[in-house]
Structure 1
Amino acid sequence: MRSVFLTGASRGLGAALFQTLQTDGARVLGLARTFTTEQQTLAAQRPTSVRLRPTDLSDPATLSDPAGVGPAGLPSGAELATFVGEAGPDDEIVLVHNAATVEPIALAGELPPAAVLAAVNLNLVAPILLTNLFLATFRDSPARVRIVYIASSAAHRAYPGWATYCATKAGAEAFVRCVSEAASRACQVDIIDPGAIETQMQQALRDRGTGMPGHARLVERHRVGDIGDPSTVAKSIVDRYFPPLAPAL
């Protein structure tokens, strides 16, 4: 059995991954601020294999609640372990870091501080804390443990107006690379750059980046259909990175 914890599960690529993973047979616990009606219906129909966990990973109050005491706090280790249940060496437990925001879209010198702090929390602090919680929770589990980080080319390039996004994605990617080299238990790390995808993030870049360097290129790529469909991209990710589980050696 494969159990997956997925952040940003209700929109864009996250919603497509949520749908594709559970259709593929994985048990999925989605974390997001809100969920779609379809996701809520599915969770009600399949409570043992599909679970929705409301939380706001951009909120400092959420990230300072490691015990998950508040309804919107981080899930506790006990909550993660309960969802997985008994797991053996033929099972796999996966944490997928997908949640991210491109806001604030502005040039340095015009960045709103509150939006910067929210982006740092969501894009950088949350992946660090959730990874730490995940590895601590399953330190002694005989199951295979894996972390999947949804990366971006913005971590390695300078995009005017995206400075906060570029910096936080670079920081989170650096963190998971360190985890791949050394963690408290054996843990496979996959870093996946899905390329440009037609999501609310892409629309925000087109709608709010007018006049910034590179904006015309984004608009043109959208016009000619050079931006991936979330469902298609999610299927390709699941096909490549979530193959059928093989028995442990």
Structure 2
Amino acid sequence: MNIYIITGTSSGIGGAIARHLVDAREGVITISRRENIPLSRIAKTNSSFFRHYAFDLTQTGKIPELMEYIFTSFKEVKLNGIALVNNAGTIDPIGPSGKLDVSGIEAHLKTNLVAPAILINEFIRLSRPLKVSKSILNISSGAAHKPYAGWSNYCASKAGLDMLTQSIAMEQSAEEYPVRIISLAPGIVETSMQQKIRATSAEQFPMQKKFADLYKNQGLSQPDTVASGIIPIIFSDKPESGTFSDLRYL
């Protein structure tokens, strides 16, 4: 059995990935503030190995304890592989720097960069004794490589996550059982994040109309479709460890 630890699973891409894996009777461990009740019911019905941990990822100091507990939960499982999918993220606060709430900036960077960095650190530390396939997939964005006015923190946090990915891949290359780590942009997907973007003003986000038009013209991907494309990549050799890829072009 493979074990997948997935953050941000109450809805959207994370929820869709988790549901597909539960349907396939893989081992699934979800981390999100809100439980995905339909997902939990499906897991109970098909007797899948499933655990949900209600956790606020801005509580970064408590992440090591959480990960210790998670790894203890599957110590009796015969593992083929273990994966961490850093999917949880936020777009808030949207707006120009100088007009943002400081607490919002702090929460954003904790959610999008600090929490994934700590989760990765603990995943590598705790999985080191395991002689199995090990993989980390970080959900990134094209905004990591292209600046957007009004998204300064989002662009910065995703760029930081991509550089973290590259650096850790270099570190892992010398390990006997290395952790493969990649960054993946899923494209523009109809999630609660997109709903927030459409609800902003042009003053907050000058590109708002572009995203509203994409929605109007049915130019957004659906979470289920994206999840189906992501899952085969998690334990694949391609893309190579340390790389950034756009799912739309794989």
State the TM-score, normalized to the length of structure 1.
0.87
**Mapped contact 1:77–1:137 kept (Cα < 8 A):** yes
2:125 aligned partner, one-letter code: A
Partner of 1:7: 7
Counterparts of 2:85 and 2:196 in 1: how far apart (Å)? 23
Cα gap change, 1:133 to 1:67, in 2 (>3 Å): closer
Match of 1:201 in 2: 193
Quote the residue 1:246 is aligned against. none
Partner of 1:247: none
Q: In 2 relative to 1, CA 174–87 (structure 1 residues): closer, same or farther, beyond 3 Å?
A: farther
CA distance, structure 2, for counterparts of residue 107 and residue 188 of structure 1 = 36
Distance 1:66 1:38, change over 3 A: closer
180-189 vs 20-29, greater mean Cα deviation: 180-189
Structure 1 equivalent of residue 246 of structure 2: none
- Report what 1:22 is aligned to: 22
Could you tell me how far apart the structure 2 residues matched to 1:67 and 1:195 are? 31
SS at match of 2:100: coil
Q: What is residue 74 of structure 2 aligned with on the other side?
A: 83
- Which string of whole-angstrom CA distances, capped at 9 and with x for unpartnered residues, describes residues 55-102 of structure 1? 0002xxx2112453xxxxxx13243243253445xx010000000000
Q: Which of 61, 68, 74 in structure 2 is aligned with 1:64?
A: 61
Conserved in 2, the CA contact under 8 Å of 1:3 and 1:84?
A: no
Alpha-carbon distance in 1 for matches of 2:218, 2:43: 34
The unaligned stretches of length 5 or more in structure 1 are 69-74, 244-249
Identity within the alignment, %: 28
Kept in 2: contact 1:87–1:142 (CA 8 A): no
Which of the numbers 114, 117, 126 marks the counterpart of 2:115?
126
1:54 matched residue in structure 2: 54
User: Match for 2:89 among 75, 86, 100?
Assistant: 100
- Tell me the SS of whatever aligns to 1:115: helix
Cα RMSD between the aligned structures?
1.9
Match of 2:227 in 1: 234
Normalising by structure 2, we get a TM-score of: 0.86
How many residues are aligned here? 232
User: Which residue pairs with 2:242 in the alignment?
Assistant: none
The whole-number CA distance in structure 2 between the counterparts of 1:137 and 1:117 is 27
Is the contact between residue 43 and residue 52 of structure 1 (CA under 8 Å) also seen in structure 2? no
2:67 counterpart letter in structure 1? S
Segments of structure 2 that go 5 or more residues without pairing to the other structure are 237-250
**CA separation of 1:16 and 1:48: change in aligned 2, threshold 3 A:** closer
